[in-house]
Amino acid sequence: MNEAITNEYLKDAIGSFKAYKKLAEKAIEQVTDQELFVTLDEEGNSMAVVMKHMAGNMLSRWTDFLTSDGEKPDRNRDMEFVIEEGTTKEAVLAYWERGWQAVFAAVEPLQPQDFERTVSIRGEAHTIVQAINRQLTHYSYHVGQIVFLAKHFRSSQWKSLSVPRNRSAEFNAKMADQGGAADTSKRFDVQSNQGSK
């Protein structure tokens, strides 16, 4: 694989992981401790469950990323969807942070030559690009769930994490004026791009 393309892909992937983490955390900041654990119905997951599942997945997939299967034998996926009595917001956030630390500890040191390797997930061979893309799409799916739930609970007090309604033209004009190269890690930093409004 071309080294320049590999480096650009890796920079973009790391930026995307950071952007999705930040997006979820901006949504989580808007909910109460109690709301973090609320489900909308019997089949739904709370934000805490989604975060626990994501962190469990991250620890499994990214620990010894290049040398062991991404589905670790000690992972108990079913328990990721159970919040044990007495679990606090602080405990959920600490586990979430551990998961993300595993992501960045595995992805940030990757070198172009690593992209010639394959890794396995549940016994299936993946190129490094396939493995990273698999997790990026998985995490973006769940971050969307977190944002949806947070917005549901905040309702009319929701602080938009994207371009607010009826502000697209203003936002587009501001972005056109700024120009320059896109910074993937700031993909969802809409509020900083539109000033204090």
What's residue 191's pLDDT?
57
Give the Å distances, CA to CA, from 136 to 13, 129, 140: 8, 10, 6
At 119, the amino acid letter reads V
Flag residues of the chain having pLDDT under 70: 1, 190-197
What's residue 195's pLDDT?
40
Q: What is the pTM of this model?
A: 0.89
* Highest CATH level, class, for 3-158: mainly alpha
CATH 1.20.120.450 in the chain is located at 3-158
**What is the maximal distance between C-alpha atoms in the chain?**
52
Kindly report the three-state secondary structure assignment for every residue of the chain: CCHHHHHHHHHHHHHHHHHHHHHHHHHHCCCCCCHHHCCCCCCCCCHHHHHHHHHHHHHHHHCCCCCCCCCCCCCCHHHHHCCCCCCCHHHHHHHHHHHHHHHHHHHCCCCHHHHHCEEEECCEEEEHHHHHHHHHHHHHHHHHHHHHHHHHHHHHHCCCCCCCCCCHHHHHHHHHHHCCCCCHHHCCCHHHHCCCC
What's residue 57's pLDDT?
98
What's residue 1's pLDDT?
66
115-139 burial, b for 16+ CB within 10 Å, e for fewer?
beeebebeeeebebeebbeebbeeb
Alpha carbons 145 and 28: distance in angstroms, whole number: 11
What's residue 79's pLDDT?
96
Q: What is the dihedral of CA 112, 118, 121, 125, to 10 degrees?
A: 150
